[in-house]
Amino acid sequence: MIKEGFGETVRELRLAAELTQEELALESDVALRFLQDIEAGNLQPTITTVFKIAGALSIKPSDLLDQSFANWLKEGKPNGG
């Protein structure tokens, strides 16, 4: 599903940036529990949160979404996404 793929992308980029969840939450001004739920694929962020996370990762929001979309396509666009 889309929210799981997005969460996985955030996690991959966070780890590549060598940030903990706590550090990314602080840098993006997002509650730690909310970030954990995003990474776990339990919740999906608003566009505002996407921008905040991308900014904290020093990437463009479009890059975050592009990578999430590419991962989704690789997974075969599961139903219910």
- What CATH number does residue 59 fall under? 1.10.260.40
Q: Is the pLDDT of residue 30 over 70?
A: yes
Please give the pLDDT value at position 9: 95
Residue 81 in any domain: the answer is no
Token digits of residue 36 = 């954990």
Q: Is the pLDDT of residue 81 over 60?
A: no
Domain containing 55 equals: 2-74
- Gap between the terminal Cα atoms of the chain: 4
What is the count of structural domains for the chain?
1
Q: Which of 9-18, 34-43, 69-78 has the lowest mean pLDDT?
A: 69-78
- Listed in sequence order, the residues at least 6 apart from 20 whose beta carbon sits closer than 8 Å to its beta carbon are 14
77: left (phi over 0), alpha (psi -120 to 50) or beta: left
User: What is the spatial distance between Cα 81 and Cα 23, in angstroms, rounded to a whole number?
Assistant: 29
Phi, psi of 29 (to 5 degrees): 60, 45
Give residue 78's pLDDT band: very low, low, confident or very high (50, 70, 90): low
